[in-house]
Amino acid sequence: MLRKTTIIILWLGICATVGYLSPTLPLVKDIIAIKTVNVKGTDKFKEEDIREIFKSQNWFFLTEDYVNEKLKNYPFVKRAILYKPQIGQVDIIIEERKPFAILNYKGKSYVVDKDGEIIDDKISEKYQLIKINVIDSYLSFKDIISKVDFIYKNLNINPKEFTFSNGEIAIINENNSTLVFSLDNLEEEVKKAKVFFAKNSIANYSYINFSFDDMIIAKK
């Protein structure tokens, strides 16, 4: 019985070794090599980029996690979905990050998406985005973008610029009205603003401050 068990263990070991090494054998390597890569969802990759990503991989062992790890080097990629429709062919569907705002932070400017991830640090006229100025804030990139997104979703306004300073958010709307909220009580102050705007048009005011507990300061 012991001898039979030993033989089985040895046989399994041999099979495992052969299976592990087989992709390096010339014949097997040629069969499972990645011969065709189709990238969909973006036109930003160059052919040499794709070759570099897959140069040390074979079709059999390629995983979606591996592809996403490699694509972290490309800021415009949010995630990739991997399909292997047949041996030797790889299809990759790219979900691109979408520019949301120009973030001005500590003397530098970045194009960021709604997750607060930096897409580009070279600002050009092609980016017609809202501006977010951070003069003084304890918040991270992602927390700043989260506050901006919260205001977008809850107030029917068209802001063109946000400024974070001294615990407050100052918003310049499309008609150049200025709205002010505090960071620490933003949710309650946005509720207050919704009630105010249900009865008053933002176009009638040049300045509205919602950051006080018991009052709203407004200037026409």
Digit-coded pLDDT (tens) for 168-198: 899 998 888 899 999 888 898 988 888 888 8
The domain locations on the chain are 2-96, 101-219
Taking domain 2-96, whether its CATH number is 1.20.1090.10 is answered by: no
Taken in order 121, 125, 130, 132, is the CA torsion positive or negative? positive
Whether 37 has a pLDDT exceeding 60, the answer reads yes
Interval 48-72: pLDDT, tens: 777 777 777 777 777 889 888 888 8
Interval 69-103: pLDDT, tens: 888 888 888 898 988 887 777 888 889 888 888 88
Q: How far apart are CA 14 and CA 7, in angstroms?
A: 10
Q: How far apart are CA 158 and CA 203, in angstroms?
A: 11
**What topology does CATH give the domain 101-219?**
Rossmann fold (3.40.50)
Provide the pairing of β-strand 178-182 with 168-173. antiparallel
Q: How far apart are CA 68 and CA 71, in angstroms?
A: 5
Q: Give me the percent of the chain exceeding a pLDDT of 90.
A: 3
What's the residue count for the chain?
220
Provide the pairing of β-strand 159-165 with 130-134. parallel
Q: In CATH terms, are 2-96 and 101-219 the same topology?
A: no
Angle 183-187-211 (CA atoms, 0-180°, nearest 5)? Answer: 50
Section 109-117 average pLDDT: 85
Whether 27 has a pLDDT exceeding 50, the answer reads no
